[in-house]
Amino acid sequence: MSQIKIPLDWPNIGDLEKEYVLKALDSGFVSTAGPLVKEFEDEFAAYLGCRNAVSVVNGTSGLHLALRLLNIGPGDEVIVPALTFIASINPITYVGATPVIVDVHPDTWTIDPLQIEKVITDRTKAIIPVHLYGNPARMDVVMEIARQNNLYVIEDAAESLGSTYKGRYTGTFGDLGVFSFNGNKVITTGGGGMVVTDNDELAQRARLLVNQGRADSEKEYIHQEIGYNFRLTNIQAALGLAQMKRLPEFLAVKRRNASIYRRELQNVTGIRMQKELNEAESSWWLFSIVVEDEFDEERDSIMSRLTAKGVQVRPFFTPLDQQPCYSKYNIPNSKVADHLYSGGINLPSASFLTEQDVLDVCRELLER
């Protein structure tokens, strides 16, 4: 196996992160009790300009928690896009609800609002738009559809920290927004995530549920609800605080590198790139391309060739209509998502890549 020379998206960890984590270790607070958890939550909420942020153990648990907070369960339907990581749909089944899959827009690769309206029934309870690879969905249209049909919106913003739509951060449009801090996300706490909301009552209940249904102020082991052990640790919060201080740096590099990719590949026959909406700015968590027939080389061949050169790439998420674990749901074919997947390649997008790294990726991609 070739040694990786240009990684896809590894964590960007430096001296600041080590300093913060060592302080947490020296304090003796290493588990879920510790002052840095609230500090991280407060700083995260302040960055987004929202009222509340509740930390969780990962993004998947954040979506699970969001569904539970909105009392979504058996008999309810939740709309989700076909092209996304499977964590966007799994929590729907955790609460006993039914996922309803719709296709994505061919330009942005995010949920197609026209498809949402076609599948709304009297059982529909919520929409989960996903800001795929950091690219914002058309949130004003999604929110208007939700308003007209009395539906909740849970934003899957796992990949889009720092992305904006009409000057507002993704994750802050819906009733709840969910972020991920997995090792390859825009910022990382090793694992972890955050649920954000402007609804104080939802936030209060969220803090109860992440702590096994027990209020922090409760001295006895009295549990008001059947909750979960979804809490973030103080060490993870320390890492998150350091990463938040470096977030502007990370976003600047990702956007610079995306600009280089676009400049170098925009006139190449057979290569199509994800489009930002005019009113949006992507975090470019992962810069991605779709290889069309005109390129005269298949996706898997390209990926093998780049991997042999030490360039780490990966295919798009497998669309939900092709997932074996959801075969019993009889999900209809998603023509756009299936086509994008067949030619989709995620290119190196780590926040420590240099301009030369990106140029080298482009050169290797085009040298056939």
Q: Where are the domains positioned within the chain? A: 15-243, 247-366
Work out the burial of residue 228: count CB atoms within 10 Å of its CB; fewer than 13 is exposed, 13-18 middle, 19 or more buried: middle
Average pLDDT estimate for 321-349: 96
Interacting residues of 321 by C-beta distance below 8 A, sequence separation 6+ = 82, 101, 331, 332, 333, 334, 337, 338
323 vs 330, residue with greater confidence: 323
**Residue 218 banded pLDDT, cuts 50, 70, 90:** confident
Q: What is the pLDDT of residue 10?
A: 94
What is the C-alpha separation between 13 and 350, in angstroms, rounded?
Answer: 11
State pTM to two decimals. 0.96
CATH number of 247-366: 3.90.1150.10
Average pLDDT, the chain: 96
Q: Which fold has domain 15-243?
A: Aspartate Aminotransferase; domain 2 (3.40.640)
User: pLDDT tens digits for 180-212?
Assistant: 999 999 999 999 999 999 999 999 999 999 999
Residues facing 193 on adjacent strands: 56, 180
User: pLDDT tens digits for 259-278?
Assistant: 999 999 999 999 999 999 99
What is the C-alpha separation between 311 and 117, in angstroms, rounded?
Answer: 41
User: pLDDT tens digits for 109-143?
Assistant: 999 999 999 999 999 999 999 999 999 999 999 99
Q: What is the pLDDT of residue 34?
A: 82
